[in-house]
Structure 1
């Protein structure tokens, strides 16, 4: 048993640093049991330092050696959804960086389509509709060229009415592997965030049509919902969202990708 204080549902305050030797196996089990470890610094992040990463990897994570392309939506001249000065492109990059961290600690190889405020379109292409399409096509082309195991695109949703809220995962209709991936991630979003009852949604998306591997778009919340807007700006909540996506991806590979 890991020493510490029970903070409430899903919360454990680690009592001493020596627990690190026990933590890796506990963490791998916790993904399925929805148990989380909390430190006095910030939810999720304190435990994932180098020594722990090596021990987790040594246990044989389902993510070990998998190539994951993480796509923070928008960037550069394309801010995505903007509400009250809060830009989608900043939120997706923040969550992607945290997801990158979790995945690498579990032994995955990670390529991010962008690691700063930029897009992948030609600098001199100023027609925004064409620029967005070129940008997206190049992101997917990167994943195809690398022969990635999965493609994860992170976005923030919006709606005319301000009462819509909740993270939701989208996948290409007819793709069984993408459906499985979307379901695994959505289950973790529902369980770990506790504020969405949305289900995975199939459709016809450019990402799904062009990707040569399981691919999903994760809309991590609504910037048009006042309370969710606040959450999406909170670093601790961003880590929680990233961990949910990570847990879903772990489940997907554990089930036999």
Structure 2
């Protein structure tokens, strides 16, 4: 019995040592990682990686591959399965909702400058020209609709109930409508085209850029809450990995900000960049 007990203890000890060695090997591999596969939706955020992030990471010795996606589901699923190492396309509210719905462990590294929603018009050249009873197309989804109402309040065209929740305000929270605006909810992707048929249109930044609209031509740009700024996201298990730290350092660099100022004009900077 003593010999059997000693044999069992010996086998357990060997197993523990092997497990520790394997764990250390995995951690070492993560620390030595020199290739980053970045996922992004095609358009401005793929461009942001290419122009403002990739060159800095390459200076640090990384090989950066950018994989473009055409929807908002696959970038997170590909991240969770390890097909990519990081992604850039989503804001905080979407990230938290998606991760909870799909039981994923995802975490943000840092927020980046993001194209704001704007009020556009082919009829008026300024908000002062807006006439009584003008029509305005707004997104028909609650999250983006709330953003549109907040812009209109900032512009002085409406007043919202101060007790209303900022992230979920809707037409029912409008307590004063100075110009008697007529709200026309439509699909967000159709808002750039709506500029031709309505007096005003509240267009999210990504759809404005996809339609080749100039952000700086908006009559009013959104004072974007930080929750709506896009994030660079990784698996939570990689949050402290060296490659994640190097991505964050790249975004915090003066070189990154200089590229944003030069090539991404109109993008709203997150709070950490403006302090």
Establish whether TM, by shorter chain, passes 0.5: no
| Highest RCO, 1 vs 2 (Cα 8 Å, sep ≥ 6) | 2
TM-score bracket for this pair, using the shorter chain length: under 0.3
